[in-house]
Amino acid sequence: MKILSLLLFSSFLFLRPASLAETKVYICKGKGSKRYHCTASCRGLSRCSTKIYAVTKTKAKAMGRTLCGWED
Ligand SMILES: [Zn+2]
């Protein structure tokens, strides 16, 4: 029984609602890049000349980024 409750406890931790975690967005640090993207495979990122960085949405907004035009 002890093992079972341990398993239940770990799956509870694993299945925490995603809303509790900060949303990750993706940004390009190229010149003139002012957008953030919900997926790293976004069309808007395909032209990116630098590495693609994952940051939290809060941080992206603090950097003055706005949601990319390809997303809804
Ligand atoms: Zn995008």
> Does 10 fall in a domain?
no
> Does 6 fall in a domain?
no
> Does 63 fall in a domain?
yes
> Does 37 fall in a domain?
yes
| Spans of the chain, pLDDT less than 50 | none
pLDDT at residue 21, as a whole number? 78
Q: Are strands 35-36 and 66-67 parallel, antiparallel or unpaired?
A: parallel
pLDDT at residue 12, as a whole number? 63
Half-sphere exposure of 29 (CA within 13 A, CB side): 6
> Does 4 fall in a domain?
no
Give residue 6 CA to ligand 1 midpoint distance, Å: 41
> Does 9 fall in a domain?
no
pLDDT at residue 15, as a whole number? 63
Give residue 4 CA to ligand 1 midpoint distance, Å: 43
Count of domains for the chain: 1
As a residue count, the chain comes to: 72
- Domain of residue 51: give its range: 18-67
pTM over 0.85: no
β strands within 6-70, DSSP E: 24-28, 35-36, 52-56, 66-67
Give residue 44 CA to ligand 1 midpoint distance, Å: 5
